[in-house]
Amino acid sequence: MAKVSIIGGGSWGIALAVLLRGNGHEITVWSALDKEIEMLRENHEHKMLPGVKLAEDMAFTTDDKEAVEGKDLLIMAVASSYTRSTAHRLKPYVADGQKILNVAKGIEEHTVMTLSEIIEQEIPQADVAVMSGPSHAEEVGRGVPTTIVVGAKSKATAEYIQNLFMNEVFRVYISPDILGMELGGALKNVVALAAGIADGLGYGDNTKAALITRGITEIARLGTAMGGRFETFCGLTGIGDLIVTCASMHSRNRRAGILIGQGKTCDEAMAEVKMVVEGVHSAKAAMELAQKYNVQLPIIEQVNAVLFQGKSAALAVRELMLRDKKLEVSDQPWPV
């Protein structure tokens, strides 16, 4: 049995708390929000996961020291925009070599750092790993079969976390490509906004398939330029996560995109979704990275124009369709 703290009381953190408690581990849930902890203590259920009951012996706290000290694993499950402030807040209590698993997805806008890089910068004494893949909280909380990937700098750390999570409905692979995993997890949210916008405009399956396929091409183009492995983008944390996020109504990014396609502004869509839409925060960062590494991201560029420049969603799709004629795979030779 391991002592595990979930840092963040949102639906994803709670779904993982339920999973790990079912595996026999001792669970503490921390949140900076008093009302969130009160809700969990009183109801033993998260309002976003109705019917998913929390074990009576789970601990709930807003105390930083209680959440961190003596724990075998800290799971960082706060929204990406709060990763830095939360890591900074918890740093004084983190021991040398203490393991932190980041399960959020995003890129920090003003620094274009991945979330694991932020945690390592704020808590340099920690052993930081990441977990990503096609895994909606609503399904993980109910025990729906799910497969994900844990990335770490050492195989020993990856295998340790793998063993904590693995069970008959939650399969865990491991990988050394932390950067590729995080870029796939962050950038797929931007493409999912595009897929939702297409749905909101009334387009069909053909359009969705094109956005997913060309979207993973953009993600891999940038990711490999930054040092990620191409194979990572072909796997669970690349195309796998992209498919589920573009296709499912559990996806807050797709739902926000649908609303934008129907004519709502970015702010109106986020307010109606009532959850953090990570793709909005990652979209600008993606364009900064594209400029830095000199790669073209036409879908992500059009999403930025719709989100932040007032561009018509219909016009953005039209311009994508009318781009210069291209080869699908540029390095394939023609037979002589």
Catalytic residues: 188
Q: Say how many residues make up the chain.
A: 336
How far is it, in rounded angstroms, from Cα 154 to Cα 151? Answer: 9
How far is it, in rounded angstroms, from Cα 181 to Cα 184? Answer: 5
Cα 196 to Cα 183, 199, 211, 230, 265: the distances in Å are 20, 5, 10, 26, 14
Cα 162 to Cα 85, 100, 189, 291: the distances in Å are 27, 13, 25, 36
Phi, psi at 71, each rounded to 5°: -90, 145
CA 67 to chain centroid, in Å, comes to 23
Residue 291's Cβ-count burial label (10 Å; 0-12, 13-18, 19+) is exposed
Phi, psi at 128, each rounded to 5°: -100, 130
CB atoms near residue 206 (< 10 Å): 9
How far is it, in rounded angstroms, from Cα 320 to Cα 245? Answer: 21
Looking up tokens 């930081």, which residue turns up? 128
81 SS3 class: helix
Looking up tokens 């997805």, which residue turns up? 105
CB 169 within 8 A of CB 192: no
Residue 310's Cβ-count burial label (10 Å; 0-12, 13-18, 19+) is exposed
